[in-house]
Chains A and B, each alone.
Chain A
Amino acid sequence: MTAPVVVCSWTGIREEPPEETEAALTLGRSVSAGLGVGLVWLVVGPAPQDCAEVAARHGVGEIEVISDPKLSTGLADSFVEAVCRFLGDHPAGLVLFSQTFDTRLVAPLVAGRLGASVVMNALDVAVEGDGLEVTAAAFGGDTRVVYRAATGRPCVVALLANSVVPEPASSPSSPTVSEVPVDLSEVHERVRVLDPARAEGPRLEDAEIIVAGGRGLGSPQNYKLVEQLAEALGGMAAASRPIVDDGWIDSSRQVGLTGKITRPALYLAAGISGATQHMVGCSAAKTIVAVNSDPDAPIFRHARYGIVADCNEVLPELVRAVTQVSDSHD
């Protein structure tokens, strides 16, 4: 295989977290070294200011920028067209995306157009013999599946957030930067946005402290305790899926496989069993604390500290204790 590894990032309407792009560059570098091929960073949409710096740090050989204004709309057809045209002219062995809401949609479309193999929810890509093996989370994270990609076609992989720790190359590179001319004037977006989503306030993905409540709270009224503790800690309140499904709280608060992938310093889970589908969204937390009345709840296998008790009794006491500590030096 001589075709390069292409890491593709999309600065569309929703910004891709820079550390996730760097994680993809880190993994892309290791695969390109293993295959003995080049590493290309394909920037779709306006190039980030520090992109040359980031690329150099990660040993990127070439930066290719496609910055047609249509690509900032965040709509799929222009993106897929632009990327497929680029990859048609510059065939890649591996096309690596960091998995975001937007790339979850477009990566498989690109693969479909190119006839490429495709693996989502990837945690790792390894060179095995003359081919690639992609490890991905399955069953909501309960298992890992290792896929062997067929040789002779490109492989599109979307890397799950928090799965690779970004690391700079041992020696930086001096990447070339080229603007790729792509004419998208003929592309007609088939999906029309009638009412855009409006991000309101801070995002769980950025929160340093998260207090999450689950079905163990027993009733919607008790979710208030979670919100009070979050407020006392200066963090954000989140939830497991069942209580979102039951309408206790908006789905923008859901953490997990089909919700938000978070990475706080502190994640306090109250009345949450710790199903893998939930833990996918918080296992990157530096410290997990669990309050659960069942000593055998799986959450304790992930937690650093655990309290085995009724969360509805402990949460108000935590609010009190936290408030006392915060007030102590005022």
Chain B
Amino acid sequence: MRIVVFAKEVLDPDAVGAYAVSGGLVVDDDGNITQSTIPRLMNGYDEQAIEAALRLKDSGLECTVVVASIGSDQTAMLRHALSLGADEVVAIEPPEGPMDCHVVASILVAWVASVGGADLVLCGRQASDDDQGVVPALVSVGLGMPLVTLARSVEMPGLGQPVQVVRVTPDGDEKVEVDLPAVVTVSSELGEPRYPTMPQKMAARKVNPPVLTTQELAVGAGGLEPAVVVARQFVPTLKGDCEIIVGEGPAQLADELVARLVENKLIKAGR
């Protein structure tokens, strides 16, 4: 069976956060963050989606794991995917114009069709840059597959069997089952992705991931027209009116704080 994982390269959210906090984030007129000092890396949830695919493979399931990504200059990221254990990787050059999640989904749907379909599509729950998390849903509609979100674990008893997913819900874990083909998104609760070994890294370094263009894919009508475009991006301002409690040692600090909480009726004296 073929397991397809979609991976997105994102700006390191921690670095973006650090610049945002220090007031030094540079955003151009089109809303793009332009700092070249911010590292680019694979979206963490997508790395966990690859991990979910590899765990299925480790469980003895006969499968091919293919990682696909839309973007320019993704060799390093795709080699990382190979070193983790992906069987195949492919890069898709983005189209000329602006991309939104509709455009991304249309391209991915066309690519899946071009390779003869997929049995299981795994994606990260959201990308840590725009946090939108809608591409998996749009892909599932485009491919006519059911969607299961927020997996903590993805298991398959055997080929041809339904896939069993434990979902992270606000009320605790929910176990569901779905027939393949299906789209499943992976949440952080899946756990740490594996580290590539040195030999795996060395082997991956020799591979030049194939690159497709959107012209080579039969993208559906209107599929390259974005439904939303980014008008601008900015860093929100914070109020910042913190009173730092002063006192001699933990006991006094605690008393001072509790006095303020009582004063503001946040906690009641006597219950």
Interface residues of A (CB under 8 A from B): 14, 76-77, 101, 104-105, 108-109, 111-113, 115-121, 133-134, 136-150, 153, 155, 190-200, 203, 205, 209, 233-234, 241, 244-245, 251-252, 257-258, 260, 265-266, 275-277, 286-287, 289-290, 295, 298, 300-310, 313-314, 316-318, 320-322, 325-330
Q: Within 8 Å CB of B17, what residues of A?
A: 139-140, 142, 275-276
With A14-B171, A139-B129 as contacts: A317 and B178 at CB distance below 8 Å: no
* Chain-A contact segment, one of B49-57, B81-89, B112-120, B240-248: B240-248
Q: How far is the CA of A199 from the CA of B171 in the complex (A)?
A: 4
Partner of B176, one of A119, A194, A200, A260: A194
**10 closest cross-chain pairs (CB), A and B:** A329-B270, A112-B141, A117-B227, A108-B137, A317-B254, A190-B146, A195-B175, A199-B171, A108-B134, A197-B171
Contact in complex: A142, B146 (CB < 8 Å): no
Give which listed residue, B25, B170, B257, contacts A203 with CB less than 8 A.
B170
Q: Could you jot down 25 A-B contacts, CB within 8 Å?
A: A101-B169, A109-B147, A119-B228, A121-B131, A138-B233, A143-B20, A145-B233, A146-B231, A148-B229, A150-B225, A150-B227, A155-B228, A190-B146, A194-B175, A194-B177, A199-B170, A289-B257, A290-B242, A305-B257, A309-B250, A320-B251, A320-B254, A321-B255, A326-B271, A327-B270
B110 within 8 A of A: no
A144 to B31, CA, bound (A): 10
- Contact A108-B138, Cβ < 8 Å, known A140-B17, A198-B172, A321-B255: yes
* Complex CA–CA separation, A40 to B73 (angstroms): 47
> From residue B22, how far is it (CB to closest CB) to chain A in Å?
10
| A120 engages B270 (CB within 8 Å) | no
CB neighbours of B207 from chain A (8 A): none
Give Cα distance in the complex from A120 to B133, angstroms: 8
From A111, A295, A305, give the contact of B245 (CB < 8 A): A305
Q: Residues of A contacting B16 with CB < 8 Å?
A: 139, 142-143
Interface status of B102 (Cβ within 8 A of chain A)? yes
Do residues B250 and A143 form an inter-chain contact, with CB atoms below 8 A?
A: no
B166-184 Cβ-contact flags toward A at 8 Å (1 or 0): 0111111111111100100
Give the chain A neighbours of B130 by CB distance below 8 A. Answer: 136, 138, 145
Contacts of A308 on B, CB cut-off 8 Å? Answer: 244
Contact call A251/B234, Cβ cutoff below 8 A: no
Secondary structure type dominating chain A contacts: mixed
A234 touches B271 (CB 8 A): yes
**What is the predominant secondary structure among interface residues of chain B facing chain A?**
mixed
Q: Using a CB-CB cutoff of 8 Å, which residues 99-149 of chain B contact chain A? A: 100-102, 105, 125, 128-134, 137-138, 140-142, 146-149
Residue contact A190 to B125, C-beta cutoff 8 Å: no
Whether A144 contacts B233 in the complex (CB less than 8 A), given A112-B140, A149-B227, A301-B240, comes out as yes
Q: Is the CB of B254 within 8 A of A148?
A: no
Q: Are B178 and A192 in contact (CB under 8 A)?
A: yes
Cβ–Cβ < 8 Å partners of B234 in chain A: 143-144, 146
A289 to B164, CA, bound (A): 42
The answer on a CB contact under 8 Å between A318 and B31 is no
- Nearest CB of A to B61, in Å: 19
Given contacts A138-B233, A147-B229, contact A301 B242 (CB under 8 A): yes
B232 interfacial by beta-carbon distance below 8 Å: yes
- In the complex, the answer to whether A111 meets B229 with C-beta atoms within 8 Å is no
| B132 surroundings in chain A (CB, below 8 A) | 118-121, 136
Contact B133–A104 (Cβ < 8 Å): yes
| CA of A265 to CA of B268, assembled, Å | 13
Tell me whether B131 and A111 are in contact (CB under 8 A). Answer: no
B69 adjacent to chain A (CB < 8 Å):
no
CA distance A234 to B115 in the complex (A): 58
Distance between Cα atoms of A115 and B187 in the complex (Å): 26
CA distance A198 to B13 in the complex (A): 33
Given known A-B contacts A117-B227, A118-B134, A143 and B25 have beta carbons under 8 A apart: yes
9 more CB-based (< 8 A) A-B contacts, given A104-B149, A302-B238: A101-B169, A109-B141, A115-B222, A117-B100, A136-B131, A192-B176, A233-B267, A305-B245, A330-B271
From B225, which residue of chain A is reached at the shortest CB distance? A150
Contact string, B187-208, partner A, CB cutoff 8 A, digits 1/0?
Answer: 1110110000000000000000
- Which has the most chain B C-beta neighbours within 10 Å: A298, A310, A316, A325? A325
In the complex, what residues of B have CB within 8 A of residue A241's CB?
188
User: Of A77, A195, A322, which contacts B267 at CB under 8 A?
Assistant: A322
- Check if B141 sits within 8 Å of A101, measured CB to CB: no
- The answer to whether B262 and A140 have CB atoms under 8 Å apart is no
Cα–Cα distance between A325 and B13 once the two chains are bound (Å):
42
A260 CB contacts on chain B under 8 angstroms: 170
Question: Which of B125, B179, B228, B258 lies in contact with A147, CB distance below 8 A?
Answer: B228
Please determine whether A190 and B171 come into contact, CB atoms closer than 8 angstroms. no
Chain A residue nearest to B136 (CB atoms) is A108
A140 close to B141 (CB less than 8 A)? no
CB < 8 Å neighbour of B254 from A196, A203, A314: A314
Q: Please, which residue of chain A has its CB at the minimum distance from the CB of B137?
A: A108
Q: Which residue of A lies closest to B245 (CB)?
A: A307
Write out the residue numbers on chain B whose beta carbons fall within 8 Å of the beta carbon of A245.
188-189, 191-192
- Check B13 against A251 for contact (C-beta < 8 Å): no
Which residues of chain A are within 8 angstroms of B1 by Cβ–Cβ distance?
A: none
